[in-house]
A = this chain, B = another copy of it.
Amino acid sequence: MLLISYDPVSGWSVPEIKPYGPLALDPMSSCLQYATTIFEGMKAYIGPDGTPRLFRPEQNMARLERSAERVALPPFNSAELLTLIKRLVTLEKRWIPTLPGYSLYIRPTIIGTRAALGVAASDHAMIYVVLSPTGPYFRTGPKPLSLLGVSDTVRAWPGGTGGHKLGLNYSPGFLPQRLAAQQGYDQILWLFGEDKRVTEVGAMNVFVVVKRDDGNWDVITPALDGTILPGVTRASCLALTGAHPERTTLPNLPAALKLHTHERPLTMPELFAWQQEGRLLEAFGVGTAVIVAPIGRIGFEGNDLVLPKHQAGLGPLGSALWERITEIQRGQFEWEGWSVTCE
């Protein structure tokens, strides 16, 4: 693992790469008392030339910088951190699986290590990066997720922290997730407000595909209003969808098909209406871990909204995005420098 520590007198320490092992933390550490912790999720792949590759890592680094600012952790040089991560990944290259669907998961973390109980910003910190080989989210191919729409527990709110990748956005979801599982649902669909706006799925961003009167498709995801995590996979799905068919053709989608992307509010009543009109084509969650995960049904106020079934598990757009993104990640399809080699 990679380790760098910060103190207010000497600043960031000389980075160290050392064997994975426990961290020695003062019991009063800010991260343990006041949840001063932020992280990123990234993946490394082996390209056709045998070189490790990262997927749009500068996006993760920029988000980590914004997260640090949000919880008043000391600023750091994200370009230098990326250089160090590349070096770590190159050093541990033998751990990157080459099987399709497998990769080396990278978890950069920054914790506040100020050892004092006064409720104030942490003037001590530690950056660490750990690695773990990881397999496909769905071991036997994409299986549509069942979601429980939840609005009594709220993941994020205006003026809150849902738009940043902070550790503290996650543990409040454990209990609702457990309750949803007891009701037979895989994940939570986080709803917000009187109008039951769809925000996120578990720890993923969400997309729906709606057929227009002219036969083309609307591709809709909630806007980044501060309650939505600005996911790298989300941004990539929007960019690739927006580029079809003018700038690139997505796999197995007709070149004549126009895809209209929208970042806007999306409500449960809208989903039900589109489904009854037969216009709701598919819905999926997106994120670094899963890339694209199909949604099969959504439980909401005692009813289940059932989405169209697709033979591959994923619908046509979900499949196309999954395929294209994995091709880019593995260096099999070149697209706007998204796949970055660790030279």
Contacts and interface: CB of A to CB of B under 8 A. Distances in A.
Nearest to A172: B161
Interface residues of A, number: 57
B109 A171 contact: no
A71 B31 CA distance: 16
A121 B154 CA distance: 17
Interface in A1-52: 1, 20, 22-28, 30-37, 39
B174 A36 contact: yes
A107 B112 contact: no
A152 interface: yes
Given A154-B160, A173-B119, A37 B28 contact: no
Given A35-B35, A35-B166, A72-B174, 18 more contacts: A22-B25, A22-B27, A23-B24, A27-B128, A27-B130, A34-B174, A36-B171, A36-B174, A69-B175, A70-B175, A107-B117, A117-B132, A119-B203, A120-B174, A121-B177, A154-B157, A157-B160, A166-B172
A78 B223 CA distance: 44
B107 A174 contact: no
A187 to B, nearest CB: 10
Contacts of A1: 27
B37 A35 contact: yes
Given A24-B24, A25-B22, A159-B154, A121 B175 contact: yes
Interface in A199-245: 202-203
Interface in A110-130: 111-112, 117, 119-122, 128, 130
Contact of A175 (B22, B72, B202): B72
A167 B32 contact: yes
A203 B1 CA distance: 36
Contacts of A31: 31-32
A269 to B, nearest CB: 19
B167 A159 contact: no
Given A23-B27, A172-B160, A39 B33 contact: yes
A178 interface: yes
A22 B177 CA distance: 32
A170 interface: yes
A151 to B, nearest CB: 7
Interface string A172-195: 111101100000000000000000
A178 B70 CA distance: 11
